[in-house]
């Protein structure tokens, strides 16, 4: 199995490192040839508008969208979650996403006070202890369709906001497991989601 990490902008190196630590073959993906080659895809954290624009500029956008829609197991963290969302609230004018997940995400959802923060999260599919989740100008999920499972949420002012969601082969987190050295989310993606897709 070959996992590609979209390497146009953002923290793709951290994802490549985390995947390598999980013992899976992973490559940085920047061309159509590479997109056609991979068995699974990771969309990194960064700036979702920039990543989408660069994907357009380099002629990759439609093919990535097509592959996700035809079942390519894909994991998106933070900006990657936004890129996987069918609908974006607080989007930049003309902002595009690859889509595939029946979710509405709110960009920069946590507001100024908690622009960036850390929290211990329990996540379905990940055995204890809790995950130390790092949020950096992160989105949250505002609405999920019926096929979407919420794996983890954060409580703000008494309200629960989903920050980890799965829909079939697609996984998205508002936070960045790739920068913590804890590879359990990557392992979950590889061992549970990708294996199920290959089987």
**Which residues are catalytic, by number?**
78, 176, 178
Nearer to ligand GLN, 28 or 197 (CB): 28
Tell me the site size for ligand GLN, rule CB under 6 A: 11
How is residue 143 written in tokens? 């609405």
Report if residue 105 touches ligand GLN, rule: CB under 6 A.
Answer: no
Distance CA 48, CA 166 (A): 19
Nearer to ligand GLN, 79 or 84 (CB): 79
Residue 174 near residue 144, CB atoms below 8 Å? no
Kindly state the helix (H) or strand (E) to which residue 11 belongs, with its residue range. Answer: none
Report if residue 82 touches ligand GLN, rule: CB under 6 A.
Answer: yes
Contacts of 122 (CB under 8 A, 6+ apart): 128, 130, 131, 152
Q: Which has the closest alpha carbon to 4: 73, 100, 90, 103? A: 73
Report if residue 4 touches ligand GLN, rule: CB under 6 A.
Answer: no
- Identify the residue among 57, 108, 122, 124 touching ligand GLN (CB under 6 A): 108
75 bridge partner residues: 42, 171
CB of 40 to ligand GLN, least distance (A): 20
Report if residue 107 touches ligand GLN, rule: CB under 6 A.
Answer: yes
Handedness of CA 125, 119, 134, 77 (dihedral sign): positive
Report if residue 46 touches ligand GLN, rule: CB under 6 A.
Answer: yes
Query: 88: phi > 0 → left, psi -120 to 50 → alpha, else beta; which?
Result: beta
* Residues 59 to 78 in contact with ligand GLN, rule: CB under 6 A: 78
Residue 38 near residue 75, CB atoms below 8 Å? no
In the shown chain, the binding pattern of residues 122 to 161 toward ligand GLN, with x for contact by CB under 6 A and - for none, equals --------------xx------------------------
Nearer to ligand GLN, 107 or 161 (CB): 107
Sites of contact with ligand GLN (CB under 6 A): 45-48, 78-79, 82, 107-108, 136-137
């Amino acid at each position: 199995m070959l996992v590609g990490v979209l390497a146009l902008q953002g923290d793709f190196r951290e994802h490549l490192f985390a995947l390598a630590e999980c013992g899976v073959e992973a490559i940085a993906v920047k061309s159509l040839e590479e997109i056609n080659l991979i068995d699974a895809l990771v969309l990194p954290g960064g700036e979702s508008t920039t990543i989408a624009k660069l994907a357009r500029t380099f002629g990759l956008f439609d093919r990535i969208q097509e592959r996700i829609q035809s079942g390519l197991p894909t994991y998106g963290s933070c900006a990657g979650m936004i890129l996987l969302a069918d609908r974006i609230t607080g989007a930049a004018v003309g902002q595009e996403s690859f889509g595939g997940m029946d979710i509405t995400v709110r960009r920069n959802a946590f507001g100024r006070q908690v622009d960036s923060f850390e929290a211990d999260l329990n996540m379905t599919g990940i055995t204890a202890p809790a995950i130390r989740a790092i949020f950096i100008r992160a989105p949250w999920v505002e609405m999920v369709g019926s096929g979407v499972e919420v794996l983890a949420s954060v409580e703000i002012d008494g309200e629960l906001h989903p920050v980890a969601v799965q829909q079939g082969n697609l996984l998205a987190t508002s936070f960045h497991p790739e920068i913590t050295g804890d590879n359990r989310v990557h392992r979950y993606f590889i061992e549970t989601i990708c294996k199920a897709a290959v089987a």
